[in-house]
Amino acid sequence: MNTNDFKTRTEIIEEQSTCPEGYWVLGLDTGYSSVKGKSPNKRFAFPYYAKKVPEGRAFLREAEDSDIRYRDETGEWVVGKLAYDEVNAKEIVDSEQELTGRHRFFTDIFRVTTRTGIALGLMPNKYGSCEDKHIMIEAGLPPKYINDAVDLREALCGKHDFEVKVGAGNWIKYSIELKENDIQVMPQPLGSLVSASTNANGRQSKTAIQYWSGNVIVFDPGYGTLDTYIVKRGQVIGKGETFPEYGMHEVFARTCRDIEKEFGLSIEVPELQNCLESGEVKVIVSRRPLKTRKYSFKDILEKNCVEVCKEVIERLSSIYNYFVDYDYIIATGGTFEAWKDVFINAFKDVEDLRVIPANINNVSVSTVYSNVNGYYYYLSNMLGRSKTA
């Protein structure tokens, strides 16, 4: 296992996707660990974190491609990886609720990171520009929290004036006004079901009929929650379930607890992000004489990752009658990528049940993007049908 695989990355990947004429669709997921997006000319992701820059501070080092800076009437902020680089324990403890709390839509971090995500989705490149086009956003929420869509829309609606700078590029000004009808919100796991049913051209895949005519459970383990969504014979059953006690945050929380037990080092979950690249923590073993030592936490992280995954499988098996009534499990998300081997192996002897990664139609794109991919094509196709009706 490579601990660096658990680190939330920053990437902007140019690609062309179909979009109805006159519209600029943006699938946007401001998750608990990262912001993901898909627009007609790119897909992108960056860590969900922002930190205000002290007034008058100079940036001395040369900008990296992953650096993202933001500014508005409140001042300048560093975003994503650049913000995590400056993290300290006291600030993280104070802002933990902003990072993983359900009611975070009116916090500074949410405003800055979500506006930054919108900006990345609107940036022009060789595959197109949003100029003179109607901007529409499809977002998602955990099934249990879908009624919070009212707050999410309120946070996104209105006039947004700000600037964003990526890497060594220039500051780009944005002045965007979004109305309530410009923002749609769907249950997050439904995005992955749409993604698994849609080919790379945005059309329904040949295998989609199998999913929609069978019994399907969408398995969407994320950073802050684990979500499930049930579709039987094309009918959505219930509103889905959300389990806030499971997800990668729980894996990291147990890892931090065990690091303190093993090495005597107190570390908070967001601080762990900066240790994932090396897979090591530095511990003071003596102050006189001064002596430090690096310790690998790779085995600790792997143990907790497997344990939480197995607990999830056991919990869901008891809730869903050991999946005997299901034909497919559509599995999605970055946490599933980490759990994939354990999860698939657990069901290898269950007859007539197939575990389908949500990126089945384009395995070159990680399941990290499956929800926003589904958001994008769901709204694009709906707008396309309305234009031809």
107-134 pLDDT per residue, tens: 999 999 999 999 999 999 999 999 999 9
> For residue 63, how many other CB atoms are within 10 A of its CB?
15
Token pair in block for residue 320: 């869903």
Stretch 248-260: mean pLDDT, rounded?
Answer: 96
In a domain, 86, yes or no: yes
- Give dist(CA 43, CA 57) in Å, integer: 32
249 pLDDT band, cuts 50/70/90, is very high
**Does residue 51 sit within a domain?**
yes
Number of domains in the chain: 1
Q: Is residue 173 part of a domain?
A: yes
Residue 217 is predicted with a pLDDT of 96
Q: Give yes or no for residue 93 having a pLDDT over 60.
A: no
| Mean pLDDT taken over the chain | 92
- The domain that holds 340 is classified in CATH as 3.30.420.40
374: phi then psi, degrees, rounded to nearest 5: -70, -40
The first and second tokens of residue 30, run together, are: 């401001």
Q: pLDDT tens across 166-218, in order?
A: 999 999 999 999 999 999 999 999 999 999 999 888 888 888 988 989 999 99
Whether 187 is covered by a domain: the verdict is yes
In a domain, 28, yes or no: yes
Residue 366 resides in a domain: yes
Question: Is residue 180 domain-resident?
Answer: yes
Residue 19: predicted pLDDT: 96
Q: Is residue 281 part of a domain?
A: no
- Residue 71: per-residue pLDDT: 97
Residue-range definition of the domain harbouring residue 315 = 7-266+311-388
263 pLDDT band (50/70/90 cuts)? Answer: very high
